[in-house]
Protein backbone atom coordinates (compact mmCIF):
# COMPACT_ATOMS: atom_id res chain seq x y z
CA UNK A 1 0.00 0.00 0.00
CA UNK A 2 1.51 3.31 -1.06
CA UNK A 3 1.68 6.09 1.49
CA UNK A 4 2.58 9.73 1.07
CA UNK A 5 5.81 10.78 2.67
CA UNK A 6 5.48 13.58 5.23
CA UNK A 7 8.16 16.25 5.03
CA UNK A 8 9.71 16.90 8.45
CA UNK A 9 11.99 19.85 9.07
CA UNK A 10 14.40 20.74 11.83
CA UNK A 11 11.96 23.17 13.39
CA UNK A 12 9.37 20.38 13.66
CA UNK A 13 11.79 18.23 15.64
CA UNK A 14 12.88 21.11 17.87
CA UNK A 15 9.23 21.86 18.66
CA UNK A 16 9.18 18.62 20.69
CA UNK A 17 10.15 19.66 24.22
CA UNK A 18 11.90 16.45 25.28
CA UNK A 19 14.00 16.32 22.14
CA UNK A 20 14.88 19.99 22.54
CA UNK A 21 16.07 19.31 26.10
CA UNK A 22 18.24 16.39 24.97
CA UNK A 23 19.57 18.43 22.07
CA UNK A 24 20.64 21.27 24.38
CA UNK A 25 22.09 18.92 27.02
CA UNK A 26 24.08 16.84 24.54
CA UNK A 27 25.20 19.79 22.43
CA UNK A 28 26.77 21.77 25.24
CA UNK A 29 28.44 18.70 26.77
CA UNK A 30 29.80 17.77 23.33
CA UNK A 31 31.49 21.17 23.18
CA UNK A 32 33.04 20.42 26.57
CA UNK A 33 34.23 17.03 25.35
CA UNK A 34 36.16 18.54 22.47
CA UNK A 35 37.68 21.13 24.79
CA UNK A 36 38.79 18.25 27.04
CA UNK A 37 40.36 16.42 24.09
CA UNK A 38 42.48 19.48 23.34
CA UNK A 39 43.39 19.78 27.03
CA UNK A 40 44.36 16.11 27.38
CA UNK A 41 46.43 16.12 24.18
CA UNK A 42 48.32 19.25 25.23
CA UNK A 43 48.74 18.04 28.83
CA UNK A 44 50.12 14.62 27.92
CA UNK A 45 52.41 15.90 25.16
CA UNK A 46 53.75 18.63 27.44
CA UNK A 47 54.53 16.10 30.16
CA UNK A 48 55.96 13.32 27.96
CA UNK A 49 56.96 14.79 24.56
CA UNK A 50 55.74 11.50 23.05
CA UNK A 51 53.44 11.39 20.00
CA UNK A 52 52.61 7.76 20.89
CA UNK A 53 51.39 8.65 24.39
CA UNK A 54 49.56 11.68 23.01
CA UNK A 55 47.88 9.39 20.49
CA UNK A 56 47.13 6.94 23.31
CA UNK A 57 45.29 9.50 25.46
CA UNK A 58 43.31 10.66 22.41
CA UNK A 59 42.52 7.03 21.55
CA UNK A 60 41.31 6.46 25.09
CA UNK A 61 38.60 9.05 24.48
CA UNK A 62 37.15 6.52 21.98
CA UNK A 63 38.44 2.98 22.42
CA UNK A 64 36.94 1.92 25.80
CA UNK A 65 33.48 2.59 24.37
CA UNK A 66 33.46 -0.89 22.83
CA UNK A 67 33.89 -2.44 26.29
CA UNK A 68 30.99 -0.43 27.63
CA UNK A 69 28.94 -1.29 24.56
CA UNK A 70 29.37 -5.02 25.14
CA UNK A 71 29.09 -5.10 28.92
CA UNK A 72 26.75 -2.24 29.82
CA UNK A 73 24.48 -1.34 26.89
CA UNK A 74 21.75 -3.60 28.34
CA UNK A 75 21.32 -1.09 31.16
CA UNK A 76 19.41 1.10 28.70
CA UNK A 77 16.65 -1.53 28.65
CA UNK A 78 16.79 -2.63 32.30
CA UNK A 79 16.68 0.81 33.97
CA UNK A 80 14.56 3.94 33.47
CA UNK A 81 16.44 5.76 30.74
CA UNK A 82 16.06 9.28 32.11
CA UNK A 83 17.52 8.20 35.45
CA UNK A 84 20.36 6.34 33.74
CA UNK A 85 21.26 9.36 31.61
CA UNK A 86 21.30 11.74 34.57
CA UNK A 87 23.32 9.41 36.82
CA UNK A 88 25.93 8.71 34.13
CA UNK A 89 26.31 12.43 33.42
CA UNK A 90 26.93 13.12 37.10
CA UNK A 91 29.46 10.26 37.24
CA UNK A 92 31.28 11.53 34.17
CA UNK A 93 31.37 15.03 35.63
CA UNK A 94 33.03 13.72 38.78
CA UNK A 95 35.50 11.58 36.85
CA UNK A 96 36.56 14.39 34.52
CA UNK A 97 36.78 16.76 37.48
CA UNK A 98 39.14 14.31 39.19
CA UNK A 99 41.39 14.40 36.13
CA UNK A 100 42.05 18.05 36.91
CA UNK A 101 43.54 17.28 40.34
CA UNK A 102 47.07 18.74 40.63
CA UNK A 103 49.90 16.22 40.77
CA UNK A 104 47.77 13.40 39.32
CA UNK A 105 49.96 10.59 37.97
CA UNK A 106 49.67 9.79 34.29
CA UNK A 107 48.43 6.23 34.90
CA UNK A 108 45.67 7.59 37.18
CA UNK A 109 44.66 10.11 34.51
CA UNK A 110 44.40 7.30 31.95
CA UNK A 111 42.39 5.13 34.37
CA UNK A 112 39.86 7.89 35.10
CA UNK A 113 39.53 8.57 31.38
CA UNK A 114 38.93 4.89 30.61
CA UNK A 115 36.13 4.63 33.18
CA UNK A 116 34.52 7.86 31.93
CA UNK A 117 34.54 6.60 28.34
CA UNK A 118 33.27 3.12 29.24
CA UNK A 119 30.11 4.55 30.81
CA UNK A 120 29.58 6.65 27.69
CA UNK A 121 28.42 3.51 25.83
CA UNK A 122 25.27 2.85 27.89
CA UNK A 123 24.63 6.61 27.88
CA UNK A 124 24.68 6.68 24.07
CA UNK A 125 22.50 3.54 23.90
CA UNK A 126 19.98 5.13 26.25
CA UNK A 127 19.93 8.34 24.19
CA UNK A 128 19.34 6.43 20.96
CA UNK A 129 16.60 4.32 22.51
CA UNK A 130 15.00 7.37 24.15
CA UNK A 131 14.76 9.08 20.77
CA UNK A 132 12.59 6.20 19.59
CA UNK A 133 10.25 7.00 22.52
CA UNK A 134 10.35 10.78 22.11
CA UNK A 135 10.06 11.13 18.33
CA UNK A 136 6.65 9.98 17.09
CA UNK A 137 7.40 8.39 13.71
CA UNK A 138 10.17 7.26 11.37
CA UNK A 139 10.42 10.53 9.42
CA UNK A 140 10.74 12.56 12.61
CA UNK A 141 13.29 10.10 13.96
CA UNK A 142 15.43 10.36 10.82
CA UNK A 143 15.39 14.15 10.96
CA UNK A 144 16.16 14.10 14.68
CA UNK A 145 19.12 11.80 14.05
CA UNK A 146 20.35 14.06 11.24
CA UNK A 147 20.08 17.13 13.47
CA UNK A 148 22.00 15.36 16.24
CA UNK A 149 24.79 14.50 13.81
CA UNK A 150 25.07 18.03 12.44
CA UNK A 151 24.95 19.48 15.94
CA UNK A 152 27.75 17.17 17.05
CA UNK A 153 29.97 18.28 14.17
CA UNK A 154 29.31 21.93 14.94
CA UNK A 155 29.96 21.27 18.63
CA UNK A 156 33.32 19.80 17.67
CA UNK A 157 34.16 22.91 15.66
CA UNK A 158 33.20 25.22 18.52
CA UNK A 159 34.87 23.05 21.16
CA UNK A 160 38.12 22.73 19.24
CA UNK A 161 38.10 26.42 18.29
CA UNK A 162 37.59 27.48 21.88
CA UNK A 163 39.73 24.63 23.20
CA UNK A 164 43.08 25.90 22.00
CA UNK A 165 42.39 29.41 23.30
CA UNK A 166 40.97 28.08 26.59
CA UNK A 167 43.94 25.81 27.24
CA UNK A 168 46.30 28.68 26.51
CA UNK A 169 44.31 30.97 28.84
CA UNK A 170 43.27 28.75 31.78
CA UNK A 171 45.47 25.70 31.32
CA UNK A 172 44.61 22.06 30.68
CA UNK A 173 43.25 21.48 34.18
CA UNK A 174 40.96 24.49 33.96
CA UNK A 175 39.63 23.24 30.63
CA UNK A 176 38.92 19.82 32.18
CA UNK A 177 36.92 21.50 34.95
CA UNK A 178 34.83 23.28 32.32
CA UNK A 179 34.08 19.92 30.67
CA UNK A 180 33.11 18.46 34.06
CA UNK A 181 30.66 21.34 34.56
CA UNK A 182 28.99 20.66 31.18
CA UNK A 183 28.18 17.11 32.33
CA UNK A 184 26.51 18.42 35.46
CA UNK A 185 24.50 20.90 33.38
CA UNK A 186 23.45 18.06 31.07
CA UNK A 187 22.32 15.94 34.04
CA UNK A 188 20.23 18.81 35.41
CA UNK A 189 18.56 19.51 32.05
CA UNK A 190 17.73 15.84 31.45
CA UNK A 191 16.37 15.34 34.98
CA UNK A 192 14.18 18.44 34.68
CA UNK A 193 12.80 18.21 31.13
CA UNK A 194 13.00 14.60 29.91
CA UNK A 195 9.97 12.58 30.98
CA UNK A 196 10.43 9.55 33.24
CA UNK A 197 9.39 6.24 31.68
CA UNK A 198 9.51 2.73 33.15
CA UNK A 199 12.28 0.42 31.94
CA UNK A 200 11.83 -0.88 28.39
CA UNK A 201 11.69 -4.48 29.58
CA UNK A 202 8.80 -3.63 31.90
CA UNK A 203 6.95 -2.13 28.93
CA UNK A 204 7.68 -5.16 26.68
CA UNK A 205 7.11 -8.12 28.96
CA UNK A 206 5.83 -10.18 26.03
CA UNK A 207 8.97 -9.70 23.94
CA UNK A 208 10.76 -12.85 22.84
CA UNK A 209 13.81 -13.80 24.94
CA UNK A 210 16.91 -12.14 23.54
CA UNK A 211 14.97 -9.64 21.43
CA UNK A 212 16.85 -6.37 21.34
CA UNK A 213 19.90 -7.85 23.06
CA UNK A 214 23.44 -7.08 22.01
CA UNK A 215 23.89 -10.65 20.75
CA UNK A 216 20.74 -10.48 18.65
CA UNK A 217 21.85 -7.14 17.23
CA UNK A 218 25.25 -8.58 16.30
CA UNK A 219 23.53 -11.52 14.59
CA UNK A 220 21.26 -9.23 12.57
CA UNK A 221 24.05 -6.87 11.49
CA UNK A 222 26.49 -9.67 10.70
CA UNK A 223 23.87 -11.50 8.65
CA UNK A 224 22.93 -8.58 6.40
CA UNK A 225 25.47 -7.61 3.68
CA UNK A 226 24.17 -4.04 3.49
CA UNK A 227 24.40 -3.50 7.26
CA UNK A 228 27.87 -5.06 7.40
CA UNK A 229 29.09 -2.77 4.63
CA UNK A 230 27.62 0.32 6.26
CA UNK A 231 29.32 -0.50 9.56
CA UNK A 232 32.62 -1.00 7.71
CA UNK A 233 32.16 2.37 6.02
CA UNK A 234 31.59 3.89 9.44
CA UNK A 235 34.76 2.24 10.73
CA UNK A 236 36.74 3.87 7.90
CA UNK A 237 36.67 6.96 10.12
CA UNK A 238 39.35 5.24 12.18
CA UNK A 239 41.80 6.21 9.43
CA UNK A 240 40.31 9.57 8.53
CA UNK A 241 40.44 10.78 12.13
CA UNK A 242 44.18 10.11 12.58
CA UNK A 243 45.20 13.80 12.16
CA UNK A 244 43.05 14.72 15.17
CA UNK A 245 44.98 12.34 17.42
CA UNK A 246 48.28 13.74 16.14
CA UNK A 247 47.29 17.41 16.32
CA UNK A 248 49.48 18.26 19.32
CA UNK A 249 52.73 16.73 17.99
CA UNK A 250 51.91 18.00 14.47
CA UNK A 251 51.59 21.56 15.78
CA UNK A 252 54.76 21.18 17.87
CA UNK A 253 56.72 19.97 14.83
CA UNK A 254 55.63 23.15 13.04
CA UNK A 255 56.76 25.29 15.99
CA UNK A 256 53.18 26.17 17.01
CA UNK A 257 51.36 25.96 20.37
CA UNK A 258 47.96 25.08 21.88
CA UNK A 259 45.99 27.55 19.76
CA UNK A 260 47.26 25.81 16.61
CA UNK A 261 46.20 22.46 18.12
CA UNK A 262 42.64 23.75 18.46
CA UNK A 263 42.69 25.14 14.92
CA UNK A 264 43.91 21.84 13.50
CA UNK A 265 41.23 19.95 15.40
CA UNK A 266 38.56 22.22 13.89
CA UNK A 267 39.32 21.15 10.32
CA UNK A 268 37.65 17.74 10.12
CA UNK A 269 34.37 18.54 11.94
CA UNK A 270 34.01 21.88 10.15
CA UNK A 271 34.37 20.15 6.80
CA UNK A 272 31.95 17.40 7.81
CA UNK A 273 29.31 19.90 8.96
CA UNK A 274 29.58 21.80 5.67
CA UNK A 275 29.54 18.61 3.62
CA UNK A 276 26.53 17.23 5.48
CA UNK A 277 24.58 20.44 4.91
CA UNK A 278 25.36 20.34 1.20
CA UNK A 279 24.43 16.70 0.61
CA UNK A 280 21.25 16.97 2.67
CA UNK A 281 19.95 20.01 0.79
CA UNK A 282 21.27 19.68 -2.76
CA UNK A 283 22.05 16.02 -3.41
CA UNK A 284 19.00 14.31 -4.97
CA UNK A 285 17.64 11.54 -2.76
CA UNK A 286 17.99 8.90 -5.49
CA UNK A 287 21.75 9.59 -5.76
CA UNK A 288 22.61 9.58 -2.06
CA UNK A 289 23.44 5.89 -1.70
CA UNK A 290 25.77 6.03 -4.72
CA UNK A 291 27.35 9.16 -3.24
CA UNK A 292 28.28 7.24 -0.09
CA UNK A 293 30.73 5.06 -2.01
CA UNK A 294 32.18 7.88 -4.11
CA UNK A 295 32.78 10.08 -1.06
CA UNK A 296 34.25 7.24 1.00
CA UNK A 297 36.69 6.35 -1.80
CA UNK A 298 38.04 9.90 -2.05
CA UNK A 299 37.77 11.29 1.50
CA UNK A 300 41.29 10.23 2.46
CA UNK A 301 43.07 11.61 -0.61
CA UNK A 302 43.85 15.08 0.85
CA UNK A 303 45.72 13.41 3.72
CA UNK A 304 48.26 12.04 1.25
CA UNK A 305 49.48 15.61 0.69
CA UNK A 306 50.59 15.78 4.32
CA UNK A 307 53.72 13.87 3.27
CA UNK A 308 55.09 17.24 2.09
CA UNK A 309 54.52 18.82 5.53
CA UNK A 310 52.41 21.82 4.51
CA UNK A 311 51.94 24.86 6.75
CA UNK A 312 49.30 24.89 9.48
CA UNK A 313 46.81 26.93 7.37
CA UNK A 314 47.33 24.63 4.37
CA UNK A 315 46.90 21.58 6.60
CA UNK A 316 43.62 22.95 7.94
CA UNK A 317 42.45 23.43 4.36
CA UNK A 318 43.26 19.79 3.56
CA UNK A 319 41.45 18.63 6.70
CA UNK A 320 38.39 20.63 5.66
CA UNK A 321 38.36 18.62 2.42
CA UNK A 322 38.72 15.35 4.33
CA UNK A 323 35.84 16.36 6.58
CA UNK A 324 33.65 17.28 3.60
CA UNK A 325 34.26 13.84 2.12
CA UNK A 326 33.55 12.26 5.50
CA UNK A 327 30.00 13.64 5.35
CA UNK A 328 29.09 10.32 3.72
CA UNK A 329 28.85 9.09 7.33
CA UNK A 330 25.65 11.09 7.81
CA UNK A 331 24.13 9.43 4.75
CA UNK A 332 25.37 5.97 5.73
CA UNK A 333 24.01 6.20 9.27
CA UNK A 334 20.58 7.21 8.00
CA UNK A 335 20.49 4.33 5.50
CA UNK A 336 21.47 2.03 8.38
CA UNK A 337 18.55 3.28 10.51
CA UNK A 338 16.13 2.62 7.67
CA UNK A 339 17.57 -0.80 6.83
CA UNK A 340 17.84 -2.35 10.29
CA UNK A 341 14.72 -4.16 11.61
CA UNK A 342 12.71 -2.02 14.01
CA UNK A 343 12.59 -4.61 16.78
CA UNK A 344 16.36 -4.46 17.30
CA UNK A 345 17.11 -0.98 16.00
CA UNK A 346 18.30 0.49 19.28
CA UNK A 347 20.65 -2.39 20.10
CA UNK A 348 21.96 -2.50 16.53
CA UNK A 349 22.70 1.22 16.63
CA UNK A 350 24.54 0.70 19.91
CA UNK A 351 26.65 -2.13 18.50
CA UNK A 352 27.45 -0.27 15.28
CA UNK A 353 28.26 2.93 17.12
CA UNK A 354 30.61 1.13 19.53
CA UNK A 355 32.46 -0.53 16.64
CA UNK A 356 32.86 2.77 14.79
CA UNK A 357 34.09 4.59 17.88
CA UNK A 358 36.46 1.72 18.68
CA UNK A 359 37.89 1.91 15.15
CA UNK A 360 38.68 5.55 15.76
CA UNK A 361 40.53 4.71 18.95
CA UNK A 362 42.49 1.93 17.24
CA UNK A 363 43.40 4.20 14.33
CA UNK A 364 44.62 7.02 16.52
CA UNK A 365 46.53 4.66 18.82
CA UNK A 366 48.17 2.74 15.98
CA UNK A 367 49.20 5.78 13.99
CA UNK A 368 50.41 7.49 17.16
CA UNK A 369 52.96 4.69 17.38
CA UNK A 370 53.75 5.09 13.68
CA UNK A 371 54.30 8.82 14.29
CA UNK A 372 56.96 8.01 16.89
CA UNK A 373 58.96 6.47 14.03
CA UNK A 374 58.03 8.57 11.00
CA UNK A 375 56.88 11.87 12.49
CA UNK A 376 53.24 13.07 12.66
CA UNK A 377 53.00 14.41 9.09
CA UNK A 378 54.17 11.18 7.48
CA UNK A 379 51.98 9.08 9.78
CA UNK A 380 48.93 11.09 8.73
CA UNK A 381 49.94 10.71 5.07
CA UNK A 382 50.19 6.92 5.45
CA UNK A 383 46.70 6.94 7.04
CA UNK A 384 45.48 8.82 3.96
CA UNK A 385 46.89 6.18 1.61
CA UNK A 386 45.30 3.40 3.67
CA UNK A 387 41.95 5.22 3.88
CA UNK A 388 41.86 5.67 0.11
CA UNK A 389 42.65 2.01 -0.58
CA UNK A 390 40.09 0.74 1.93
CA UNK A 391 37.51 3.28 0.76
CA UNK A 392 37.79 2.12 -2.85
CA UNK A 393 37.23 -1.50 -1.79
CA UNK A 394 34.23 -0.65 0.39
CA UNK A 395 32.72 1.55 -2.32
CA UNK A 396 32.88 -1.35 -4.78
CA UNK A 397 31.37 -3.68 -2.20
CA UNK A 398 28.52 -1.27 -1.50
CA UNK A 399 27.78 -0.97 -5.19
CA UNK A 400 27.64 -4.77 -5.52
CA UNK A 401 25.40 -5.13 -2.46
CA UNK A 402 22.95 -2.50 -3.72
CA UNK A 403 22.85 -4.04 -7.18
CA UNK A 404 22.16 -7.46 -5.70
CA UNK A 405 19.35 -6.37 -3.40
CA UNK A 406 16.13 -4.41 -3.50
CA UNK A 407 16.40 -0.66 -3.90
CA UNK A 408 17.54 1.10 -0.75
CA UNK A 409 15.36 3.89 0.60
CA UNK A 410 16.35 7.53 0.50
CA UNK A 411 18.43 9.00 3.25
CA UNK A 412 17.85 12.10 5.34
CA UNK A 413 15.17 14.46 4.14
CA UNK A 414 16.08 17.96 3.16
CA UNK A 415 16.73 20.27 6.07
CA UNK A 416 14.35 23.00 7.01
∠ at Cα 85 (84, 87), nearest 5°?
A: 65
Predicted pLDDT at 6: 57
Question: Which of helix, strand or coil describes residue 16?
Answer: coil
pLDDT digits (tens, 9 = 90+) for 242-282: 998 898 889 988 888 778 888 888 888 888 888 877 776 67
pTM above 0.85, yes or no: no
pLDDT digits (tens, 9 = 90+) for 310-322: 999 999 999 999 9
CA distances (Å), origin 160, targets 33, 239, 269, 318: 9, 20, 9, 17
Of residues 116, 23, 117, 130, the one with CA closest to residue 85: 130
pLDDT digits (tens, 9 = 90+) for 17-44: 999 999 999 999 998 988 898 899 888 9
The domains of the chain, with CATH numbers, are 16-195+213-403 (1.20.1250.20)
In the Cβ-directed half-sphere of 157, how many Cα atoms lie within 13 Å?
18
Amino acid sequence: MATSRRVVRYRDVLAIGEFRALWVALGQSAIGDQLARVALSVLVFARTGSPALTGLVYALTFLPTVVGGILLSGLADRLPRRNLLAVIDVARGLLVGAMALPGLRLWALFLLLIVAVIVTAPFSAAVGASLLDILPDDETYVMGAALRSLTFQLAQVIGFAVGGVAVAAIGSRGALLVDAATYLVSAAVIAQWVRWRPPARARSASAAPGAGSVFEAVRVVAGAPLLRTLVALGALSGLLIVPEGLAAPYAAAAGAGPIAVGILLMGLPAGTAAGAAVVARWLPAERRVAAIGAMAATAGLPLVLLFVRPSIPATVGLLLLVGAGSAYQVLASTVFVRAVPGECRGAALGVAGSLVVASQGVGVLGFGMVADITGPAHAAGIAGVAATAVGVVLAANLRNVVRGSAAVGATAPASG
